[in-house]
Chain A
Amino acid sequence: MIINHPILGPRDAQEFVYLGDAGLIERPDGLAEGAVDAFHDYLYLRDNPAGEHRELWYHEQGDRSWLVVTRNTLTHEITRVELARDVARAKGRSK
């Protein structure tokens, strides 16, 4: 597979390490009420869709960017690649 890195351009997926669903960006507040349940759902449950999937890849043999890649799990077609940091900020994690 080839991932079109938003900074570096197309790169073989072999340069990257895969983590999983980009929902892992949305880590709950560990000091909030009901944190155990929230963390259970966050860490263990997955949509695991057959189709479009937003997922985290790390450019370990490159610039160390974490990327959010939108890829179809049926065809492997990649339609979007973003810097995970930008996605995290858009999710309000900068607060």
Chain B
Amino acid sequence: MTQSNRIAGGQIDRTRTLSFTFDGVAYRGHPGDTLASALLANGVRLMGRSFKYHRPRGPISAGSEEPNALVELREGARREPNTRATVAELFDGLSADSQNRWPSLSFDAMSIKDRLSSFLTAGFYDTTFRWPASFWEKVYEPIIRKAAGLGAMSRLEDPDQYDKGFLHCDLLIIGAGPAGLAAALSAGRAGAQVILADEDFRMGGRLNAETHEVGGMTGAGWAVQAVSELSHMPNVRLMPRTTIIAAVDHGIYGAVERVSDHLAVPAPGKPRQILWRIYSRRAILAGGATERPIAFENNDRPGIMLAGALRAYANRWGVAVGRRAAIFTNNDDGLRTAADLKAKGVEVRVIDVRKGEEVVDSSGRLGLKSVTIRSGGRLETFPCEALGVSGGWNPNVNVASHHRGRPVWEPAIEAFVPGQGDIPGLAAAGAAAGRFSTRAALETGAAAAEEALSDLGLAVPARDLPQAEDGAYAIEPKWYVAGGKGRAWIDQQNDVTLKDVKLAHQENYTSVEHLKRYTTLGMATDQGKTANVLGLAVMAGLTGKSIPETGTTIYRPPYTPVAMGTLAGRSRGQEFKPKRLTPSHHWASEQGAVFVEVGMWLRAQWLPRPGETTWRESVDREVLQTRRSVGICDVTTLGKIDIQGRDAAAFLDKVYANNFASLAVGKCRYGLMLREDGIVYDDGTTARLGEHEYVMTTTTANAVLVFRNLEYARQCLYPDMDVQLISTTEAWAQFSVAGPNARRLLQKIVDQDISDAALPYMGCKEITVCGGLRARIFRISFSGELAYEIAVPTRYGDALIREMVAQGAEFDAVVYGTEALGVMRVEKGHVAGNELNGQSSALNMGLGKMVSRKKDSIGMVLSQREGMTDPDGYRLVGVKPVNSAEKLTAGSHFLDKGAAPVMANDLGWLTSVVYSPHLGSSIALGYLKKGDERRGARLRSVNLLAKTEVEVEIVSPHFFDPEGERLRG
């Protein structure tokens, strides 16, 4: 195809030609083109279909406000649905397809909906599809859901990388048109740290689309010169292709930089896009204005666009959308389009609202062929391929309203402007502030910068602005052409017409929020950038209220849609969250360990030996070998907190429910920690290493939280206690060594005597290992065996596990994982995560007596409330199947024999289930109503999800060595 509509001029590089395809047809364009400008240059006006009626559509804009020209850009895993052709930069080899049509863009079967439009008005779904009742889900809804949406996802993983970054500046300037450039020059020359961000790939804003002069040169030329000066300032960062998406709190702005979207694929090592968080002390919104249409019958045909866009295609891209064009305007800016087009040889007919003229209809199914004009009471048809419509310009107030401030109606320009001070530190300038002439843009841009500079305490340089036009705007409000019988579009993508707004009014959906929600006005991918003000102006006319009384809906981030990948950055796949590895991780990996996620940690779950085919074989072996001889387990993940100071003991008495003041030096004690509401929060062992020195252990899950709460107690509740805390979880590698041969194994490593006399049960010591390495040993047991936990500085953890394994060979020592750990703790009746569920009290766990009422510990008072001391409440029990061959399932509920499976008969549930190789049976812990009184009872353990049940016997939770003889051995 030839570029039949390409005319002279523009900021495209005609020395290079780019090839691209649209719907499989090959075209050519030039660097500097967008997909839309290149297609228009090739005579293609039809680029999409509307959402609801599948109406044929072309672009109405030349920017990010585009509602119609949406395409699926690129192919395969890089396919991007709903990409606006008006901002997609052309690159060699680009491929795009139209969307929301079948079988083809020019013949779309779903356009039947257009013929049925009288039935598909706003509120259509609300009032219909209810009868018969079952038909909604079975028949109607599946049809609607099939028709839903615009573009299609590839369903493949996005192959591109994304990144995030943080930037700081004195002044963020949003938009690099004349106002933004003037502001940046002032602030940059004054030495301020400036960021100038613009969503376009070419800075200059409207200057690139205009023919008038600035400072004696073309506007675009002046912009190039200004950008060049700024690019040489080390204190100025220029960020083209960067959209400010959100204004959040305290001067922070979200920005998306499209690093690689103008390339076929990102360069190696480069992200596709970057999400920036910009921390600014002051900001200037110089984001320009968006033109709005005037609604008239059939105003949505390809070739009908905003007048400023028609001008931009001609001036910036050298494209005449048609050789004959009409301009329908209510202001002087529309006349500028007419003049520019005429100068480029286009035949132009102006229809000026202010002279009593209007466009009442158009023709051309897949592209504009003619418009019908009413002038002085006469109708006439004007054949043309392009119509530029200007109903005036709306300042881009969006970002300035992200704090929910409402924009203010400015009658002189018949438009909303940003409210003053809606966002602290942000000022608007130029067209975004409703100052439309180039002269006013330059002046307000410079003035905003000067104000920011003086706020920041910087010297304000003398103002030095170029000469520029200061033309009149002279708008006369005109929202729609009255009297039409057909449809006049307001929101083109969502197919909201004048009639729909009228119907909303008729049904009393007159609040702007009701209007939006009832008709879907402004809810399409363009968020109503060209439609919203028009829609509410129509509603204002119907209700007899003024436009400012009618008000706007809330402007919400993002300013333009943002790829999910960009917001996620590098947090995906394996990198979703950091991995914490234990000191024995590398050793365990070498053994072929199976790892399990425990919060951020990866822990060895079991360590299979050759020949083992099921996890149970490995776990059973680990348990039996530990109980028979000795086992080693990495317990580094448990939280460790050093607590020191003269008041350390008193502090522990506050944070633990049981007594700690009486703990002797060199001894450990199990500690029970409650929340202030009396529910059990955490448990662990705390050792007293010295007169004023303790080390607390916490569960793995609560390590961070307990430390946070201890700091809270220390700083907020007991600010003058002499106590200091530090988390040492990462500082010590800690291993549990358990089993009858635990002492014999450890004595080979520990330099000091650890005989029962030297280190009795619940004793602790600072020791050395392997001939002088500083270490700690605690004689504590989770498994019920004679057991120790031994800790060395983390960097020696790998060496220690290797040494223990080597020294343990003679005992047939085994290293066990979290599964075996869990089996042994259930056999021993210790509570853990599934019992410490944040809903259970000490009484529920059988630990009620540990809560001392003689001291004011956290949670003591509220643990005494009636609901938490209910004698009929849940108690921890052990559970065995009556037939030991039957398997229990955690989460099953207890029911009495013969009781119907309804909640009134529910007696509790199984919290943790393991297979005990020691007992040769599935065993469980559970919470059972009046559990203490039901020892020996036979109940049903029912899993209604699997429709299974097992007869169980309620037993003591201490399945193994209930007297604790082994651990004292």
Contacts and interface: CB of A to CB of B under 8 A. Distances in A.
B716 A36 contact: no
Given A2-B250, A36-B865, A76-B250, A88 B860 contact: no
A81 to B, nearest CB: 12
B712 interface: yes
A43 B677 contact: yes
Nearest to A76: B249
A64 B711 contact: yes
Contacts of B715: 65-66, 83-85, 88
Contact of A93 (B718, B855, B864): B718
A56 B717 CA distance: 12
Nearest to B251: A2
Among A39, A76, A78, the one with the most B-chain Cβ atoms within 10 Å of its Cβ is A39
A86 B86 CA distance: 58
Contacts of A39: 676, 861-862
Nearest to A27: B717
Contacts of B962: none
B243 interface: no
Contacts of A78: 250
A37 to B, nearest CB: 10
B424 A25 contact: no
Nearest to A25: B716
Among B249, B403, B704, the one with the most A-chain Cβ atoms within 10 Å of its Cβ is B249
B424 A77 contact: yes
Contacts of A48: none
Contact of A66 (B249, B712, B856, B864): B712
A43 B859 CA distance: 10
Interface residues of B, number: 28
B860 A30 contact: yes
Contacts of A2: 249-252, 279
A1 interface: yes
Contacts of B545: none
A60 B717 CA distance: 18
B870 to A, nearest CB: 16
B719 interface: yes
B708 interface: yes
A91 to B, nearest CB: 9
Among A17, A27, A31, A60, the one with the most B-chain Cβ atoms within 10 Å of its Cβ is A27
B720 interface: yes
A60 B708 contact: yes
Interface string A18-35: 010000110111110001
Interface in B248-298: 248-252, 279
Given A2-B279, A66-B716, A89-B720, A17 B862 contact: no
Nearest to A4: B250
B639 to A, nearest CB: 14
B546 to A, nearest CB: 27
Contacts of B248: 1
B857 interface: yes
A1 B719 CA distance: 28
B307 to A, nearest CB: 40
Among B719, B855, B860, B862, the one with the most A-chain Cβ atoms within 10 Å of its Cβ is B719
Contacts of B864: 36
A24 B865 CA distance: 20
A58 B711 contact: yes
Contacts of A83: 715
Contact of A35 (B250, B857, B861): B861
B861 A36 contact: yes
Interface in B232-260: 248-252
B279 A30 contact: no
A31 B654 CA distance: 12
B716 A1 contact: no
Contacts of A31: 855-856
B719 A89 contact: yes
Contacts of A84: 715-716
Among A2, A78, A83, the one with the most B-chain Cβ atoms within 10 Å of its Cβ is A2
Interface in A30-84: 30-31, 35-36, 39-40, 43, 56, 58, 60, 64-66, 75-78, 83-84
B68 to A, nearest CB: 38
A88 B862 contact: no
Among B251, B718, B861, B865, the one with the most A-chain Cβ atoms within 10 Å of its Cβ is B861
Given A39-B861, A39-B862, A76-B250, A17 B716 contact: no
B51 to A, nearest CB: 36
Among A30, A77, A89, the one with the most B-chain Cβ atoms within 10 Å of its Cβ is A30
Contacts of A56: 712, 716
Nearest to A30: B856
Interface string B204-216: 0000000000000
Contacts of A58: 708, 711-712
B653 to A, nearest CB: 12
A2 to B, nearest CB: 4
B650 to A, nearest CB: 14
B869 to A, nearest CB: 12
Nearest to B727: A64
A85 B716 contact: yes
B856 A29 contact: yes
B676 A43 contact: yes
A30 B861 contact: yes
A25 B717 contact: yes
Nearest to B854: A31
Given A35-B861, A43-B677, A94 B717 contact: no
A24 B856 contact: no
A60 B727 CA distance: 12
Nearest to B403: A75
A78 B252 CA distance: 14
Contact of A88 (B704, B719, B861, B865): B719
Given A2-B252, A85-B716, 11 more contacts: A29-B856, A30-B856, A31-B856, A39-B861, A43-B862, A58-B711, A60-B708, A66-B715, A83-B715, A87-B716, A89-B720
24 contacts: A1-B248, A2-B252, A27-B676, A30-B856, A30-B860, A30-B861, A31-B856, A36-B862, A36-B864, A39-B676, A43-B676, A56-B712, A58-B708, A58-B712, A60-B704, A66-B712, A75-B403, A83-B715, A84-B716, A85-B716, A89-B720, A93-B717, A93-B719, A93-B720
Interface of B: 248-252, 279, 403, 424, 676-677, 704, 708, 711-712, 715-720, 855-857, 860-862, 864-865
Interface of A: 1-2, 17, 19, 24-25, 27-31, 35-36, 39-40, 43, 56, 58, 60, 64-66, 75-78, 83-85, 87-89, 93-94
Q: Which 10 A-B pairs have CB atoms at the shortest separation, nearest pair first?
A: A30-B856, A94-B720, A2-B250, A88-B719, A85-B719, A85-B715, A1-B249, A66-B715, A30-B861, A76-B249
